Amino acid sequence: MPELPEVETTRRGIAPHLEGRRIRRVDLRQRQLRWPVPDEVASLKNAAVSSVGRRAKFLLVDLPRGQMLMHLGMSGSLRVVPEKTPPNKHDHVDFVLDSGQMLRFTDPRRFGALLWTASPGQHPMLDHLGPEPLDDAFDDDLLFRLSRGRRQSVKTFIMDNRIVVGVGNIYAQESLFMAGIHPSRPAGRISAARYQRLSAAIREVLGRAIRAGGTTLRDFSRVDGQPGYFAQELSVYGRAGAPCLQCGTLLSQSRHGQRSTVYCRRCQT
């Protein structure tokens, strides 16, 4: 499933092709995605795109009458292709631009979504989201303050979008390894100093992943069709039973919130 770095990589890839352009028409071949594509999106015509932003894993396309929200779901992707490019089976929506190109939404599993709001930044899917981990609102004390009294594992705690957005399974494991924190440790029993290290690790891991173009494991690729290269930098994710890159101990595996977790029992305490 695309996580924050993959979505941000997609945003950076499509923004130069959309901003300042007009959507001449929408070619809708499959209306039923995770939710039905709303009429406001299906009927876009000659609408000028002013900006392309992101909130958590939603892409936000600002238009004169409102804002389109795009979510890639588990297997969705966006490509910028020439207008005459024939669609394949899972190419569900084309946004045809006045440049002679089009933005193509592809989603084999149809868990992605195209949504609409007349009030940019306001939508039920955006309510109750925590701060962005790369913004100033995610300060060094936030995780410590919100963790007090919590018994859940620190891994599930930092993956909670109400606490901080965008720390998915891959990047939670990598951040906890960088910070030297065992993923099963109760969130409420971690010191302020260790949470400061974890906050710094989250920012570092996500920043590196964005610079590498995200992580390609199976479905994700960039707007230009190229893979994301952060998979080459993974320290623990997907490496159960392999030697720890720091100490050589064979990496262990457990489960948190029904998600597999790989960690080093020596380096993470």
> In this structure, are residues 161 and 130 in contact, taking their beta carbons and an 8 Å threshold?
yes
128 sits in the region (left: phi over 0; alpha: psi -120 to 50; else beta) called left
84 is catalytic: no
Active site residue 22: no
The answer to whether the beta carbons of residues 150 and 181 sit under 8 Å apart is: no
DSSP class per residue in 237-258 = TT-TTSBPTTT-PBPEEEEETT
Q: Which of 57, 79, 104, 194 is catalytic?
A: 57
Which residue in 3, 40, 132, 174 is the catalytic one?
Answer: 3
Is there a catalytic annotation at residue 2?
yes
- Residues annotated within a binding site for DNA: 90, 109, 150
User: Can you tell me the distance from the alpha carbon of 106 to that of 110, in angstroms, rounded to the nearest whole number?
Assistant: 8
What is the rounded radius of gyration, in angstroms, for the C-alpha atoms of the chain?
Answer: 20
User: Which member of 12, 34, 259, 266 is catalytic?
Assistant: 259
Residues at the annotated binding site? 90, 109, 150
d(C-alpha 269, C-alpha 184), whole Å: 9
Catalytic (active site) residue 87:
no
Around Cβ 152, how many Cβ atoms within 10 Å? 15
Please tell me the distance from the alpha carbon of residue 176 to that of residue 258, in angstroms, as a whole number: 18
Residues designated catalytic: 2-3, 57, 259
